């Protein structure tokens, strides 16, 4: 991990030129993404300011879980509702608290290529080991393979740290095309893909068609983590890890060691609570569950609304029925 950070520092010093790109590519080649990552939530005060003290409290608890690292300013971090300065400061705060042997993946995706390059530079300077870059989607009708390949290539060419592609069609309304992923996997500074779509056939094809490159696939949800391991994924970025981190790390261990019957039993118990804090009730439910499990979740930033009483009861049933509460 320290070697990766040394390459990152060299890349930053060398800028976006040939030497900088060479150092970044070397870091991407050495970056081992395998493991479990929680895409951490951003706590807010009652006035909806970022609560850095609560964030640091959560980080102390996450340090006791055998995560490979943390994803900061992903979808569960409510990044669209934060200013650029807040996004960078949250990453900087996490880097100060995160143990040196843990990876920090920072979300740096913006709608324009120029803005993404700019924020990527800031995230690298703030201490990110790699950046997680979601595809632009506002003009999704024009975001075909040609546009997306050009976008991610320019970002990766300019970045001092490795780039991880991020496909989350439930939020963007656009899945990264398979042919674009396969072509981008050949870029020396693109290390992998976080795939939140849940299409295991597609994930298997991506793993198969990129096996000649050092390209790594991460499952984007705990709901299909075991299935993703079965087809060659190396880990997962899972919202549920914010509350059941040890259990997801245990599922990873069972899959990697080939203990599939035990893995299946654990996976089945995770499906309903995972669905509740993702596609069914979303970030407000995740933050409520965090409170039940001893973390600081708190409120979301407007316009996201807190759960209704009926939704809170449903969330509790989804966790209680499966034996977690």
Name which of 113, 117, 114, 158 is nearest 136 in CA terms: 113
Give catalytic status of residue 122 as yes or no.
no
**Token pair of 119 as six digits:** 């924020």
Alpha helices in the chain (DSSP H): 2-14, 18-30, 52-62, 84-97, 113-126, 145-158, 169-172, 178-184, 200-209, 225-230, 245-256, 260-275, 283-292, 309-321
Write out the H or E segment, with its range, that includes residue 104. strand 103-107
Q: How far apart are CA 140 and CA 152, in angstroms?
A: 15
Kindly tell me the sign of the dihedral angle through the C-alpha atoms of 309, 294, 71, 300.
positive
Q: How far apart are CA 177 and CA 195, in angstroms?
A: 11
Per the listing, tokens 């395998």 go with: 34
Neighbours of 201 (CB within 10 A): 8
Kindly tell me the sign of the dihedral angle through the C-alpha atoms of 60, 62, 67, 73.
negative
Catalytic option among 122, 194, 264, 287: 194
Alpha helices in 173-306 (DSSP H): 178-184, 200-209, 225-230, 245-256, 260-275, 283-292
Task: Point out the residues that are catalytic.
Answer: 194
């Amino acid at each position: 991990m320290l070697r990766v950070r040394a390459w990152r520092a060299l890349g930053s010093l060398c800028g976006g030129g040939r030497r900088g790109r060479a150092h970044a590519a070397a870091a991407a080649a050495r970056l081992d993404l395998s493991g479990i990552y929680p895409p951490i939530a951003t706590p807010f005060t009652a006035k909806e300011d970022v609560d850095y003290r609560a964030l640091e409290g959560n980080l102390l608890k996450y340090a006791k879980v055998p995560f490979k690292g943390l994803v900061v300013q992903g979808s569960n971090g409510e990044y669209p509702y934060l200013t650029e300065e807040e996004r960078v400061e949250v990453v900087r705060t996490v880097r100060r608290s995160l143990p040196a042997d843990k990876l920090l993946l920072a979300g740096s995706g913006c709608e324009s290529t120029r803005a993404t390059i700019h924020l990527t530079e800031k995230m690298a300077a703030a201490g990110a080991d790699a950046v997680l870059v979601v595809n632009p989607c506002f003009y999704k009708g024009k975001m075909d393979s040609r546009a997306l390949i050009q976008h991610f290539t320019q970002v990766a060419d300019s970045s001092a740290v490795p780039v991880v592609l991020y496909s989350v069609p439930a939020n963007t309304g656009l899945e990264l095309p398979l042919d674009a992923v396969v072509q981008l996997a050949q870029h020396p500074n693109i290390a992998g893909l976080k795939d939140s779509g849940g299409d295991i056939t597609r994930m298997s094809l991506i793993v198969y068609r990129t096996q000649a490159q050092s390209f790594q696939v991460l499952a984007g949800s705990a709901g299909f983590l075991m299935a993703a391991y079965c087809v060659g994924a190396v880990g997962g970025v899972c919202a549920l890890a914010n509350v059941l981190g040890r259990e997801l790390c245990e599922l990873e261990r069972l899959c990697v060691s080939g203990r599939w019957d035990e893995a299946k039993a654990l996976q089945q118990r995770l499906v309903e609570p995972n669905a509740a804090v993702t596609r069914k009730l979303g970030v407000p439910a995740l933050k409520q569950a965090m409170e039940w499990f001893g973390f600081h979740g708190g409120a979301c930033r407007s316009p996201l609304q807190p759960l209704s009483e009926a939704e809170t009861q449903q969330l509790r049933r989804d966790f209680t029925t499966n034996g977690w509460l």
